[in-house]
């Protein structure tokens, strides 16, 4: 049952990913990308990570894709902006196939070794995913968290510098 559902969602994700690169209109491509993000969110839910799923939808689908849509509208890329890019399609195709085989190989080869860690499926379900993330992020990974805030500060400055003429 669950595996069937997984394949169904995976199929939708792959098809909409394909639409992203094959659609004539950039807006339709953007919609395809939103759908792909949504499917990824469903995968996060299936991996018992509902918080990640919500963040995936909120930040990627809800914020970043809105900006991308705005940019498509700004550049005025209607359906006229059609141009097929075919150069390098053989090499990039071969490279992606190699990466795909690599991934499949490592997935098939790998198996869990050593002792089980503290955080298992059971802990995630009994303590709660958000609580676990909060606890780990604000004790163990405190420094990366504070560095992230500096990164975001740089992003704010960058946004203003890019968009404002006279800084």
Partner 1 sequence: MTPEMLSLSNSPGLFVGIMLLKLLVVFSVTMLIVAYATWCERKVIGHMQTRLGPMRTGWHGLLQPIADGLKLFFKEDIIPTEATRVPFLLAPMMILVPALITVAVIPFGPDLKLGGFLIPQQITDLNVGVLYILAFAGLGIYGIVLAGWSSNSKYSLLGGVRASAQMISYELSAGLTIIAVFMLSETLSLREIVALQQQDLWGVCSFVPNWYVFTQPLAFGLFVITGLAEINRTPFDMPEAESELVSGFCTEYSSMKYALFFMAEYANMIVIAAITATLFLGGWSAPFNIAILTMIPGFVWLLLKIFALMFFFMWLRATFPRVRYDQLMRMGWKVLLPLALANVVITGLVVVILQ
Partner 2 sequence: MLDSYLPIITLIVIALCFSIGSVIFSRLIGEKKPTAIKLSPYECGMPPVGSARERFSIKFYIIAMLFIVFDIEVVFMYPWAVMFKRLGLFGFVEMGVFILILLVGYAYVWKKGALEWE
Question: Applying CB under 8 A, which residues contact partner 1?
Answer: 25, 27-28, 31, 34, 41, 50-51, 53-55, 57-58, 61-63, 65-66, 69-70, 73, 79, 128-130
3 state DSSP class of 47: coil
CA dihedral 19, 25, 30, 35 (to 10 degrees): -40
Distance CA 27, CA 8 (A): 25
**Least gap, CB of 97 to partner 1 (angstroms):** 31
**Which residue, 110, 113, 130, is CA-closest to 50?**
130
**Least gap, CB of 91 to partner 1 (angstroms):** 32
Quick check: 78 binds partner 2 (CB under 8 A)?
yes
Alpha helices in 110-141 (DSSP H): 121-127, 129-137
Quick check: 4 binds partner 2 (CB under 8 A)?
no
Residues 42-61 that bind partner 2 (CB under 8 A): 45-46, 48, 51, 55, 58-59
Quick check: 113 binds partner 2 (CB under 8 A)?
no
Contact 135, 51 (CB under 8 A): no
Torsion region of 119: left, alpha or beta (phi above 0 gives left; psi -120 to 50 gives alpha): beta
**Least gap, CB of 149 to partner 1 (angstroms):** 14
Distance CA 126, CA 135 (A): 14
Q: Binding partner 2 by CB under 8 A: which of 84, 113, 126, 149? A: 149
Q: In the complex, which residues of this chain contact partner 2 (CB under 8 A)? A: 1-2, 45-46, 48, 51, 55, 58-59, 62-64, 66-67, 70-71, 73-74, 76, 78, 128, 130-131, 133-135, 137-139, 142, 145-146, 148-150, 152-153, 155-157, 159-160, 162-164, 167
């Amino acid at each position: 049952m669950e595996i069937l559902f997984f394949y169904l969602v995976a199929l939708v994700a792959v098809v909409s990913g394909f639409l992203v690169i094959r659609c004539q209109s950039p807006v339709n491509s953007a919609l395809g990308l939103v759908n792909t993000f949504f499917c990824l969110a469903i995968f996060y839910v299936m991996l018992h990570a509902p918080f990640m799923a919500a963040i995936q939808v909120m930040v990627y689908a809800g914020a970043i894709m809105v900006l991308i849509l705005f940019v498509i509208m700004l550049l005025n890329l209607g359906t006229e902006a059609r141009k097929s890019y075919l150069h390098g399609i053989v090499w990039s195709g071969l490279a992606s196939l190699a990466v795909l085989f690599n991934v499949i190989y490592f997935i098939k080869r790998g198996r869990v070794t050593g002792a089980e860690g503290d955080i298992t499926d059971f802990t995630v379900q009994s303590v709660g995913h958000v609580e676990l993330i909060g606890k780990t992020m604000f004790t163990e990974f405190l420094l990366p968290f504070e560095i992230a805030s500096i990164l975001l500060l740089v992003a704010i400055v960058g946004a203003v510098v890019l968009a404002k003429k006279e800084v």
